[in-house]
Amino acid sequence: MVTPIGLNSQSDYVMAQKTIEISTVKHKATAANIGNHETPGYQRIHVNKSFSDELKRLAANNRWEEYRDLNPSLSVDDKAPMLRPDGNTVSLEHELMEMSKNTLEFEFAADYMTDSLKRLQTAITGRVQ
């Protein structure tokens, strides 16, 4: 098997890519939750817990090459408490906090990827930009 060379083979870069992908899915879920916070019977959705568990397992075992194959999916948050008599389980305050946290995670990963590309450009050209 040929070992890939370059940014796409760097574990940190792969993790940053996956973090951006996860952040996008989380943002869609949070936006849906916020948009439906007054919809009777709406059940809060989130990134599937099994995905998070699998990601943690791979990170703990330093199996970054398998990160690319993980795909986050959404599911109903069955642990979210019913907040209203109509069965809605969305807390607007919680969703706004989640959106803020997710934004920070996305920005960190995007900044990391940008810096990685700048370092690669510097290595190729020999000039600091």
What range defines the domain where residue 45 resides?
7-121
For residue 52, tell me if it sits in a domain. Answer: yes
Displacement of CA 24 from its chain's centroid (Å) = 6
pLDDT > 70 in the chain, percent: 88
Which pTM does this prediction carry?
0.76
Q: Is residue 35 part of a domain?
A: yes
Q: What is the pLDDT of residues 14-48, one digit of tens each?
A: 778 888 888 999 999 999 999 999 999 999 999 88
- Residue 20 included in any domain: yes
Structural domain contains residue 95: yes
The residues, ordered by sequence, that sit 6+ positions from 95 with a Cβ below 8 Å of its Cβ are 30, 33, 34, 37, 44
Residue 84 placed within a domain: yes
Question: Does 127 fall in a domain?
Answer: no
Place of tokens 């940053």: 16
Number of structural domains (the chain) is 1
